[in-house]
Amino acid sequence: MTESLYPVPAEWARKALVDAERYRALYRESLDDPEGFWRREAQRIDWIRPFSRVDESSFHKADFAVRWFADGTLNLSANCLDRHLAERGDDPAIIWEPDDPAAEGRTLTYRELHRLTCRFANLLKANGVERGDRVTIYMPMVPEAAVAMLACARIGAIHSVVFGGFSPEALAGRIRDCDSRLVVTADEGLRGGKPVPLKANVDEALRDCPGVSRVIMFRRTGADVEMKEGRDIDWAAAMDAAPEDCPPVEMGAEDPLFILYTSGSTGKPKGVLHSSGGYAVWTSLTHQIVFDYRPGQIYWCAADIGWITGHSYIVYGPLANGATSLMFEGVPNWPDPSRIWQVVDKHQVEILYTAPTALRALMREGDQWVSRTSRKSLRLLGTVGEPINPEAWGWYHRVVGEGRSPVIDTWWQTETGGMMIAPLPGAIALKPGSATRPLFGVEPALLDAEGREIAGPGEGALVIKRSWPGQMRTVWGDHSRFFETYFTTFAGYYFSGDGCRRDADGDYWITGRIDDVINVSGHRLGTAEVESALVAHHSVAEAAVVGMPHEVKGQGIYAYVTVNAGLEPDAAMRAELISWVRKEIGPIATPDVIQFAPALPKTRSGKIMRRILRKIAEGELSSLGDTSTLADPSVVDQLIANRTLPV
């Protein structure tokens, strides 16, 4: 494989916060003297009571724990807001760019964001929310979403943000799992000119959530929505009545900050729980050094706040650093495929952080959409969420950045809280497709199938050998599932679920998930989730779902479905099942292919052989491997004969 190398430009080496020598020294220190390293780095956060203990984590069953700075206290909303007021209270905290380019945007200074957050925190309290209570946030990309998150953090309530693209069913499941009593939403969202019926979705979800007694609704579009007397509250009217003074609550470093549901290989999505002290240190540190962020720069993370990237790099990391964070309501290709670059020019964005899937989609539209814009303000280009193919990397670097800006590929996960492997722009030479080197305190290893560490170059399962401050603390309500999911595949290690290659230089190349998780347009989905949605349909007897390569989405969803006896599957049923899955989970889970199969390949003990299904979906028919252990090998020929192409 030929690999191009982009050495650190001289100017970056000279001016960046971390150059090559400093990276080496600090990385060494972070592993050799973690106590000293983190004691110092944690000073970037304002602690109310200083911590004396640093890392008390263990990945071993006997004394299993993930715990950092445990006796320290702080308030993360105060770190993101109050402490900036004296020096940069009038600086923009959030620049909001609405869906419609002709509509008026908003800029909220730190002072304004602080005021709104205090008011909203008081509103939550007035509606019975107490420290430790869960609040579900189902919002479009408006500053009020960040206000709601920060207000929870201010009073010690635990927020659970649910992506606005999830269906009422998916929302209801997430509300019930963490037992939220209050939901924050909007009348409608707006994406690409189309309304998203958020309030109607909440109303539908709440039919199955008897525990919810309050809904606070922000009016985004002014649509005519139903308001349920005694339950639903209008944001604007209630905010006017809420007092402005709301002192931040002193929280323990290990008190929960938020729950964020994410998909795994088995069962329903799990509530990943993050606490506040270590998370604050981790997101603020990584945001600063990976983006080489300096106050005053306009920074844009184009993720949705419904995902971890939005939590860590639209809200907490940048605001803890006093940054100006741009929040975009719309989509990259509306009204036309130059929208992202128009927004960059309009707001003079210097740092852009987006997903490979968006780049691949825009790349297909042709360079003219990019070249008609200036983009001179851009100085750093980041990516996250899925492996970036060298073509998309090259396009980002050459066409978007005109060779001037480093492309920073950041590998991390909902579970890791923040970036883990990424090239620091002043320190590490870039390789298209490689996330390169671990950040401070991150000790990755590659394991072979027997769980032995691979030394030097090689490929294996990506694990992390010791805790880092941003690590998730537990699965909400199921601590043993936390341990089982991440620390038992390879005893004593955190297992990421990803495969990875390390080259001769020591650079890391993520190869993708090696469990039953698929990554569709940068969105994580469990194949089991899609399967259980399918089998919930009255016509379906059995379903097996695997990923398939997809040019734009990275991976697509390929579903094998066996219908109930006596039914004749046809195009109408296919369409019906597709819309069923959209309704059960949301549009992101729309199957690309549904192949009706009279039978699925099973072992004699009845286990579905997914390896074979994956190969068929990938079109790799010549490398199906050993099929002799199947109960009925002829099933495979049938599947191949009926292989279905995406519609």
Nearest-approach distance from CB 309 to ligand WTA, in angstroms: 5
Work out the angle at residue 438's Cα, subtended by the Cα atoms of residues 435 and 440, and round it to the nearest 5 degrees: 140
For the chain, how are helix, strand and coil distributed in percent, rounded to 5?
Answer: 35, 25, 45
Q: Which is nearer to ligand WTA, 248 or 469 (CB)?
A: 469
Does 411 belong to an annotated binding site? yes
Q: Closest-CB residue for ligand WTA? A: 414
Which amino acid belongs to residue 86?
A
Quick check: 410 and 303 in contact, CB under 8 A? no
Nearest-approach distance from CB 393 to ligand WTA, in angstroms: 11
Q: Which is nearer to ligand WTA, 168 or 497 (CB)?
A: 497
Does 192 belong to an annotated binding site? yes
Does 521 belong to an annotated binding site? yes
Quick check: 602 and 611 in contact, CB under 8 A? no
Quick check: 417 and 10 in contact, CB under 8 A? no
- Residue 193 CA to its chain's centroid (Å): 24
- Residue 352 CA to its chain's centroid (Å): 16
Q: Which is nearer to ligand WTA, 88 or 501 (CB)?
A: 501
Quick check: 399 and 367 in contact, CB under 8 A? yes
Q: Which two tokens stand for residue 186?
A: 């909007």
Sign of the Cα torsion 210, 200, 188, 238 reads negative
Nearest-approach distance from CB 164 to ligand WTA, in angstroms: 16
Which segments within 367-469 are labelled E, that is strand?
380-384, 407-410, 444-447, 458-464
Nearest-approach distance from CB 439 to ligand WTA, in angstroms: 13
Residue 550 CB: number of other CB atoms within 10 A? 18
Name the burial class of residue 466, with classes exposed (0-12), middle (13-18) and buried (19+) by CB atoms within 10 angstroms of its CB.
middle
Does 14 belong to an annotated binding site? no
Q: Which is nearer to ligand WTA, 503 or 542 (CB)?
A: 503
Q: Which is nearer to ligand WTA, 192 or 512 (CB)?
A: 512
Q: Which is nearer to ligand WTA, 77 or 309 (CB)?
A: 309
Nearest-approach distance from CB 481 to ligand WTA, in angstroms: 16
Q: Which is nearer to ligand WTA, 363 or 594 (CB)?
A: 363
- Residues sharing a CB contact under 8 Å with residue 122, sequence separation 6 or more, in sequence order: 242, 243, 244, 245, 246
Strand partners for 136:
160, 183
Quick check: 57 and 466 in contact, CB under 8 A? yes
Residue with the two structure tokens 């347009």: 521
Q: Which is nearer to ligand WTA, 464 or 594 (CB)?
A: 464
Nearest-approach distance from CB 526 to ligand WTA, in angstroms: 12
Work out the angle at residue 32's Cα, subtended by the Cα atoms of residues 29 and 34, and round it to the nearest 5 degrees: 75
Q: What are phi and psi of 495, to 5 degrees?
A: -100, 125
Nearest-approach distance from CB 411 to ligand WTA, in angstroms: 4
Does 119 belong to an annotated binding site? no
Does 537 belong to an annotated binding site? yes
Nearest-approach distance from CB 387 to ligand WTA, in angstroms: 4
Q: Which is nearer to ligand WTA, 116 or 384 (CB)?
A: 384
Does 154 belong to an annotated binding site? no
Quick check: 321 and 269 in contact, CB under 8 A? no
Pairing of strands 256-262, 158-161: parallel
Does 134 belong to an annotated binding site? no
Strand partners for 630:
603
Nearest-approach distance from CB 217 to ligand WTA, in angstroms: 28
Quick check: 161 and 134 in contact, CB under 8 A? no
Strand partners for 383:
354, 409
For ligand WTA, the binding residues (CB under 6 A) are 262, 307-309, 384-387, 409-414, 435, 496-498, 510, 512-513, 519, 524
Nearest-approach distance from CB 269 to ligand WTA, in angstroms: 11
- For residue 91, the number of C-alpha atoms closer than 13 Å in the C-beta half-sphere is 20
Q: Which is nearer to ligand WTA, 159 or 181 (CB)?
A: 159
Q: Which is nearer to ligand WTA, 474 or 519 (CB)?
A: 519
The CA radius of gyration of the chain, in Å to the nearest whole number, is 24
Nearest-approach distance from CB 433 to ligand WTA, in angstroms: 9
Which segments within 5-80 are labelled E, that is strand?
73-74
Does 390 belong to an annotated binding site? no
Does 385 belong to an annotated binding site? yes
Distance CA 51, CA 35 (A): 12
Q: Which is nearer to ligand WTA, 383 or 644 (CB)?
A: 383
Residue with the two structure tokens 């039914």: 567
User: H or E stretch including 191?
Assistant: strand 189-191
Does 128 belong to an annotated binding site? no
Nearest-approach distance from CB 131 to ligand WTA, in angstroms: 28
Residues belonging to the binding site for CoA are 191-194, 309, 333, 521, 582
Known binding residues for ATP: 385-387, 409-414, 498, 513, 524
Residues flagged as binding site = 191-194, 309, 333, 385-387, 409-414, 498, 513, 521, 524, 535, 537, 540, 582
- Could you list the residues known to form a binding site for Mg(2+), using ranges: 535, 537, 540
